């Protein structure tokens, strides 16, 4: 195999070849030519991400089980949760939109969180879960399609629009979604795939030597 | 002394886009897969410009029905109205929700238009091997990646309103055909942006340094 032992990195955005340098904790390295972020040094990145993911999955379950919003017009009540909204659109023959909403707000975040835990929990217990490479590849591919934060803004816009028409009852899931928005950005900020690769490199070289 | 900018491609190397490992990739040794993560490696995203343009053209075509067809049909006891994206924003503005009107205006009108124009600019300049303002064009690409997803806002609003406002005799909201076209524009521009390779912006500048 032709690994280059000297730590070289190529900028993802301008292909400049750079030599890896040590970065102070919580610091980040940027490309000298185009300023693209290259890598970060997040202390304790994997443990932190694991904790955040576990919290996020709890909130995610709450956000899916409980109603997000309810309205009341002249004594008639109507509440909906995430899945309810998706199913309703499906029945209304708006299948494409229904799928789009389902994928971006339910499936992708669910897959992202489960994979994150599947990846990080064994690493925490000093084991290597099978299929690490595949998981990291999928995580990278699906990341742009998880849109919980956009959905959260959508909920707020709908809430304001509905106050015109009726009494709005914010549901438990609304708060859970608010928390999830923060947690997803915290996960994105703390997760450092380079640490996983480094971990993988270390353990595989251990195996070779022993 | 001017510093010689060495690029991975210029030295016959390429980096894995998943794990970042730098590999040799010259004619003699051309790995199809990264030894660490088994991803297919390539120096530049394959067929970046043609995939990106194809998706962009599709997005342009769908942008027309997305703006002309109604995305939401509201019927109540006394009235029936069909809202396109723009008329929805205007309606919000007229009813006094200025803040929300501004948010929706930015997310559903400014952002998609900005994405379409920015991608066109990037593609044309890359195709012409332009050396014009590479830094600004890279920033434009980053901004586009960052804001693109926020256009989904209107789709979510329509979904929630349609699911909630179903008080049979009093008021109902239905998603309109425009929502499908609009959703498709958002997805297509996102896919187009993903297929764009920002390294192509810098390639023409570095030809002279090639070893």
Q: Is residue B171 less than 8 Å (CB to CB) from chain A?
A: yes
Taking CA–CA distances from B193, the nearest residue in chain A reads A144
Q: Is residue B187 less than 8 Å (CB to CB) from chain A?
A: yes
In a domain, A131, yes or no: yes
Q: Which residues of A touch B152 (CB under 8 A)?
A: 104, 147, 150-151, 154
For chains A and B, count residue pairs whose Cβ atoms are closer than 8 Å. 211
Looking at the structure of chain A, the number of domains it has is 2
Nearest neighbour of B95 by CB, restricted to A12, A104, A164: A164
Q: Which residues of A touch B9 (CB under 8 A)?
A: 15
CA–chain centroid gap for B37, Å, is: 27
Q: Is residue A65 less than 8 Å (CB to CB) from chain B?
A: no
- If pLDDT is split at 50, 70 and 90, which confidence band does A207 have? low
Q: Cβ(B86)–Cβ(B172) under 8 Å? A: no
CA–chain centroid gap for B164, Å, is: 30
Would you state the pLDDT for residue B40?
81
User: Is A120 a residue whose pLDDT tops 50?
Assistant: yes
Q: Which residues of A touch B23 (CB under 8 A)?
A: 2, 4
Residues A96, A176 within the same domain: yes
In a domain, A202, yes or no: no
Q: Give the whole-angstrom CA distance, residue B49 versus residue B52.
A: 5
In a domain, A200, yes or no: no
B138–A14 C-beta distance less than 8 A: yes
Q: List the structure tokens of B188.
A: 């297509």
Residues A24, A50 within the same domain: no
Q: Cβ(A83)–Cβ(A63) under 8 Å? A: no
Would you state the pLDDT for residue B96?
85
Q: Cβ(B172)–Cβ(B79) under 8 Å? A: no
Residues A21, A109 within the same domain: no
Which residue range forms the structural domain that includes residue A95? 42-192
In a domain, A100, yes or no: yes
Taking CA–CA distances from B104, the nearest residue in chain A reads A157
Q: B211 or A68: whose pLDDT is higher?
A: A68
Would you state the pLDDT for residue A6?
58
Q: What is the mean pLDDT of each run of 10 residues along chain B (211 residues)?
A: 65 82 69 77 86 96 94 85 90 88 92 95 91 89 91 92 81 88 94 92 71 45
Tell me the per-residue pLDDT of A14-25, one tens digit each, with 9 for 90 and over: 888 888 888 888
**Cα diameter, chain A:** 75
Q: Is residue A198 less than 8 Å (CB to CB) from chain B?
A: no
Residues A94, A108 within the same domain: yes
Nearest neighbour of B152 by CB, restricted to A34, A104, A194: A104
In a domain, A2, yes or no: yes
In a domain, A203, yes or no: no
- If pLDDT is split at 50, 70 and 90, which confidence band does A5 have? low
Tell me the per-residue pLDDT of A165-182, one tens digit each, with 9 for 90 and over: 788 888 899 999 999 999
**pTM of the predicted model, to two decimals?**
0.89
Q: List the structure tokens of A147.
A: 């849109």
Q: Cβ(B163)–Cβ(A84) under 8 Å? A: yes
Would you state the pLDDT for residue B26?
62
Tell me what ipTM this predicted complex has: 0.88
For A:80-139, CB contacts with B below 8 A are 80, 84-86, 88-89, 92, 94, 96-98, 100-101, 104-105, 133-134, 136-137
Would you state the pLDDT for residue B194?
92
Closest CA to B184 of A96, A151, A158, A163: A96
In a domain, A208, yes or no: no
Mean pLDDT of A77-97: 88
Domain boundaries, chain B: 1-43, 47-209
Would you state the pLDDT for residue A104?
94
Residues A98, A33 within the same domain: no
Residues A21, A119 within the same domain: no
Q: Give the whole-angstrom CA distance, residue B25 versus residue B28.
A: 8
Would you state the pLDDT for residue B211?
45
Task: Report which DSSP code applies to B4.
Answer: P
Residues A77, A12 within the same domain: no
Residues A65, A134 within the same domain: yes
Q: List the structure tokens of B199.
A: 């390294």
| pLDDT averaged over every residue in chain B | 86
Would you state the pLDDT for residue B44?
83
B179–A14 C-beta distance less than 8 A: no
Q: A2 or B102: whose pLDDT is higher?
A: B102
Q: Which residues of A touch B200 (CB under 8 A)?
A: none
Q: Give the whole-angstrom CA distance, residue A82 versus residue A158.
A: 14
Q: Quote the minimal CA–CA distance from A58 to chain B in Å.
A: 23
Would you state the pLDDT for residue B2?
42
Helical ranges in B37-133 per DSSP H:
48-68, 85-94, 98-105, 111-127
Q: Quote the minimal CA–CA distance from B17 to chain A in Å.
A: 7
B152–A157 C-beta distance less than 8 A: no
For B:107-146, CB contacts with A below 8 A are 107, 134-135, 138, 141-142, 145
Residues A33, A60 within the same domain: no
């Amino acid at each position: 195999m032709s690994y280059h032992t000297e730590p070289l990195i190529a900028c993802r955005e301008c292909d400049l070849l750079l030599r890896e340098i040590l970065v102070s904790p919580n610091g980040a390295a940027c490309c000298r030519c185009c300023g693209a972020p290259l890598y970060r040094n997040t202390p304790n990145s994997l443990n932190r991400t694991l904790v955040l993911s576990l919290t996020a999955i709890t909130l995610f379950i709450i956000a899916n089980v409980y109603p997000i919003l309810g309205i009341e017009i002249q004594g008639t009540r109507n509440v909906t949760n995430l899945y309810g909204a998706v199913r309703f659109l499906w029945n209304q023959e708006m299948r494409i939109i229904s799928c789009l909403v389902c994928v971006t707000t339910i499936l992708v975040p669910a897959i992202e969180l489960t994979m994150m835990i599947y990846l990080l929990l064994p690493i925490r217990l000093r084991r290597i879960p099978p299929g690490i490479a595949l998981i990291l590849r999928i995580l990278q591919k699906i990341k742009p399609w998880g849109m919980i934060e956009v959905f959260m803004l959508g909920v707020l816009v709908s809430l304001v629009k509905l106050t015109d028409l009726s009494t709005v009852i914010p549901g438990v899931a609304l708060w859970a979604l608010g928390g999830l928005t923060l947690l997803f950005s915290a996960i994105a900020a703390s997760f450092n795939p380079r640490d996983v690769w480094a971990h993988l490199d270390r353990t595989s070289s251990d195996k070779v030597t022993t | 002394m001017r510093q010689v900018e060495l690029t991975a491609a210029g030295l016959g190397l390429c980096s894995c886009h998943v794990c970042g490992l730098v590999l040799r990739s010259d004619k003699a040794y051309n790995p199809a897969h990264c030894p660490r993560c088994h991803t297919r490696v390539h120096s530049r995203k394959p067929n970046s410009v043609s995939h990106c343009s194809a998706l962009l053209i599709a997005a342009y075509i769908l942008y027309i029905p997305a703006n002309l067809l109604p995305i939401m049909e509201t019927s109540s006891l006394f009235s029936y109205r069909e809202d396109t994206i723009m008329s929805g924003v205007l309606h919000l503005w007229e009813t006094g929700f200025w803040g929300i009107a501004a948010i929706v205006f930015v997310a559903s009108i400014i952002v998609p238009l900005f994405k379409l124009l920015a991608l066109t600019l990037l593609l044309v300049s890359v195709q012409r091997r332009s050396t014009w303002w590479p830094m600004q064009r890279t920033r434009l690409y980053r901004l586009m990646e960052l804001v693109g997803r926020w256009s989904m806002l209107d789709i979510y609003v329509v979904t929630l309103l349609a699911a909630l406002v179903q008080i049979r005799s009093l008021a109902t909201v239905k998603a309109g055909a425009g929502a499908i076209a609009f959703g498709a524009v958002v997805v297509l521009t996102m896919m187009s942006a993903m297929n764009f390779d920002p390294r192509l912006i810098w390639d023409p500048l570095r030809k002279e340094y090639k070893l």
